[in-house]
Amino acid sequence: MATEVTVPVLGESITEATLGEWLKQPGEAVAVDEPIASLETDKVSVEVPSPVAGVMGQHAVAVGDTVQVGAMLATIDAGDGAAAAPAAAAPAPAPAPAAAPAGGEGGAGYGDQPGTSASDAPAAGDSPAALSPSVRRAVLEHGVDPSTVKGTGRDGRITKEDVTAAASSKPAAAPAAAPAAAAAPAAASGRPEERVRMTRLRQTIAKRLKEAQNTAAMLTTFNDVDMTAVIEARAKYKDLFEKKHGVRLGFMGFFVKAATMALKDIPSVNASIEGDDIVYHNYADISVAVSSPGGLVVPVIRDAQDLTVAGIEKTIGDFGKRAKDGTLKMDEMKGGTFTISNGGVFGSLMSTPIINPPQSAVLGLHRIEERPVVRDGQVVVRPMMYLALSYDHRLIDGREAVTFLVALKNAIEDPTRILIDL
């Protein structure tokens, strides 16, 4: 008897998703609540658990297909899986000898080479269908055999970083992988190209950012901040902080706390426009941009104005870990009133961040670098960072934007202000 697996309820107002990847292949044993597929929604990836234990049946949809809530994804056949899994794999040894030379060096089954099939893969977890689009792209680019890569992702899955690390550890493999590149799809000019469908998350990001540009009267103002005091405080207390709170003391805790204070002084930066009304939020729900395998996501620190620096760092640390694992929840991505994006971790010197609607402002942080500045008539070297505030000029005046940045700058350059709420 087979049990149908359907698309679960994905969240308020979300009616469809895109099948990102299959985590279980037909014939594999499945435990109760074990993830069998990953769905991409407008905000996050959602794993679909198996409702019963048994053996993975047939897939009803393919990777990249759009599915509606309640639609059937696959079936789970009855059985303990122990006997069924080898049975499903039994035909594999027959074609294996003939398929082995056909695959070539570094990537059997990853091009359009004739003679390759899913049965050529050394393990179901390393088959093309089990790899995310970004990992498949990295495998093609670096000519790495996924069967030789040890996965560090969730449930041992291979990540893009794993592929990159494997490629860098085998410099001699690059020349051998070059012939395989010739099999990649080529443009009319004869030069290789690859066409990859946009993920649903990337499509949503593109649509929302363009919407922000078309709707808001965006302007960016800049300032710079001397990070000396925060760096010294962090160096002095980071060990004690981590020992007491179980999380590292970073810079974001200081900036989020300083931002909540500045937002209280300049409420329009924390407001939003709804029709002909201005909505002033008497709380600070801070969206923080964190990296995930599918791109940047912006989970929300709720009521950040009531949290300590330690509480903020714990929340951000938890977001970062779960973003990497793909376990962030839909509700955690909604309702922010102000966004902080730290491009400095990637080396950005200066940028003009784009507003995240319906918010009216976003703060961009950048890399810290030593620069000559004048202090008390003397030229000295200080660790400086550029700050950028992009804002909707329909709601926020230039004076308010500059005042906000100055208040933030003062709090960071003198962290005691954060302690005494000044």
Query: Would you please indicate which residues are annotated as catalytic (active-site) residues?
Result: 393, 397
Residue with token string 């509700």? 331
Helix-helix angle 133-142:160-168, to 10 degrees: 10
- For 181-311, where are the E strands, in sequence order? 218-226, 272-274, 277-279, 286-288, 290-292, 295-297, 300-301
Distance CA 294, CA 91 (A): 35
- Region of residue 386 (left: phi > 0; alpha: psi -120 to 50; beta: else): beta
* Alpha-helix runs per DSSP H in 216-343: 228-245, 252-265, 309-325
Residue type, position 21, single letter = E
Q: For the stretch 118-147, what's the b/e string if a residue is b when 16 or more beta carbons lie within 10 angstroms of its beta carbon?
A: eebbeebbbbbbbbbbbbbebbbbbbbbbb
Q: What number of other Cβ atoms are within 10 A of residue 150's Cβ?
A: 9
Q: CA distances (Å), 257 to each of 149, 311, 415, in order?
A: 41, 10, 10
Closest CA to 42 of 71, 64, 13: 13
Residue with token string 């890569």? 149
Please state whether the peptide bond connecting residue 358 to the residue before it is cis, i.e. omega within 30 degrees of 0.
yes
* 259 in Cβ contact with 407 (< 8 Å): no
Distance CA 30, CA 49 (A): 10
